[in-house]
Amino acid sequence: MTDMTATGRRLPDRLDNPIKSAVMSWESLLVLVALGIFIANSFASPYFLNEWSLSDLTFNFTEKGLIALAMALVIITGEIDLSVASIIALASTLMGLALQYGADTPTLVAVGVGVGVLCGAFNGFLVTGLKLPSIVVTIGTMSLFRGIAFIILGDQSFKGYPKDFSWFGQGYVVWVISFELVLFLVAAMVFYVLLHHTNFGRRVFAIGNNATAARFSGVRVDRIKFVLFCLTGLMSGIAAVLLTARLGSTRPSIAEGFELDVVTMVVLGGVSILGGAGSIIGVVLAALIIGLVTFGLGLLNVPGIVMTIFTGTLLIVVIALPILWKMFKERRA
């Protein structure tokens, strides 16, 4: 599906003109968009500029944002994982099942995170071991994982999670700063260093730019892709713990449609869906933007489904704008 042949790669001009390229970068465009929405929000609703309200805002993107960090790496290598929301559903269901057998909080967390990693490893095995296209594999496992959750739960739900477990989704570290936000920021820093300052990160970019060349220069392409799928699984498992703790219950339909929001965050963050380019800062900003949009519209009582018009339009417009601008400049020159 990725069209490798039709698009040529161009070298970045950040080496020639660092200041200009920093000002003109994707990230500064995102900062502008975020500021614009923030200002619009504060004018649109009197309830917006309030520390608790701003704190609530973060819950709109932390869980999806955590997955988006790992998804960014997967997409940079030219793969995709559409099963993340179903991994949340399965992990959450099995946590609920463990709860029925009297599991304590550490066990619950271990189950959630462990199931996430296992699901990710299964995806990774199908993609790298059997050499299957990831978009189809994860469409399949998307039905499979959520299907298993439906088999276990039917139309029931699991409730009664222990108090100290709910802290993961409802607790605050200091004042209005929630545990979820702290975890998201820490994870963002870890992924930033991993992608931009380690050999592993350089290899991820190398695979996305040219997997064959990367293989010939000694990069173990399959192993890295496998690790990345495990990593999205891990982040989905963590998101499952947070979401289950926040909602206090498990339903098989939990986190439905998350996968598209996560991919939207990653693509809006400037990660090329064709692979080979992207930054963690962009993804964090995009997560913040989506949070701002949904929260702001929520304050205005806009129904959830109408919000999707805004996020969808935002995705297309933000991506189309630089292209239109470039066409406009070329026409004048």
Partner 1 sequence: MNRLLKSRELWLALAILAVIALVTWRFPRFAQPSNLLTIFNDTSILMMLALGQMAVILTRSIDLSVASNLALTGMLVALTNAAFPFIPVPLLIAGCVVVGAGLGAFNGLLVWKLNIPPIVVTLGTLTIFRGLAFVASGGTWVNAAQMSQDFIQLQRGTLLGLPVLSWFAIVVAALVYLLMTRTPWGRAFYAIGVNPVAAVYTGINVGRTKFLAFVLSGALSGLAGYLYVSKYVIASTESAGGYELTVVAACVIGGVSIAGGIGTVGGAILGALFLGVVNNALPVIGVSPFWQMAISGLAILLAVVLNATSERSKGRIILKKAEVAA
Which residues sit at the interface with partner 1, rule CB under 8 A? Answer: 1, 3, 5-7, 80, 82, 126, 130-133, 135-137, 139-148, 150-151, 153-155, 252, 260, 263-264, 267, 273-274, 303, 305-309, 311-313, 315-316, 319-320, 323-324
Q: Which of 80, 291, 95 is nearest to 184 (CA)?
A: 291
Alpha helices per DSSP H over the chain: 18-23, 26-44, 51-58, 62-76, 84-100, 105-124, 134-153, 163-170, 179-196, 199-209, 211-216, 221-247, 258-268, 280-299, 304-332
Residue 7 or 42 having the CB closest to partner 1: 7
CA 289, 295, 301 angle in degrees (round to 5)?
Answer: 140
The least CB distance from residue 252 to partner 1, in Å, is 8
Residue 53 or 308 having the CB closest to partner 1: 308
Distance CA 43, CA 301 (A): 15
To which residue do tokens 């820093």 refer?
189
Residue 142 or 283 having the CB closest to partner 1: 142
Residue 40 or 260 having the CB closest to partner 1: 260
Distance CA 46, CA 32 (A): 22
The least CB distance from residue 86 to partner 1, in Å, is 9
Cα 129 to chain centroid, rounded: 25
Residue 178 or 294 having the CB closest to partner 1: 294
Amino acid occupying residue 84: V
Paired tokens of 176: 């209005």
What is the DSSP track for 41-105?
Answer: HHHH-TTSSSHHHHHHHHTTTHHHHHHHHHHHHHHHTT---TTHHHHHHHHHHHHHHHHHTT--H
The least CB distance from residue 283 to partner 1, in Å, is 15
The least CB distance from residue 35 to partner 1, in Å, is 22
Residue 103 or 268 having the CB closest to partner 1: 268
Cβ neighbour number for residue 196 with a 10 Å cutoff: 13
Question: What Rg value do the Cα atoms of the chain yield, rounded?
Answer: 20
Residue 227 or 260 having the CB closest to partner 1: 260
The least CB distance from residue 328 to partner 1, in Å, is 12
Residue 228 or 307 having the CB closest to partner 1: 307
Residue 35 or 151 having the CB closest to partner 1: 151
Q: Which letter does DSSP use for residue 14 in this model? A: G
**Cβ contacts of residue 109 below 8 Å, gap of 6+?**
165, 168, 241
The least CB distance from residue 156 to partner 1, in Å, is 10
Q: Which of 76, 85, 51 is nearest to 271 (CA)?
A: 76
The least CB distance from residue 51 to partner 1, in Å, is 31
Distance CA 80, CA 82 (A): 6
The least CB distance from residue 83 to partner 1, in Å, is 9
The least CB distance from residue 220 to partner 1, in Å, is 21
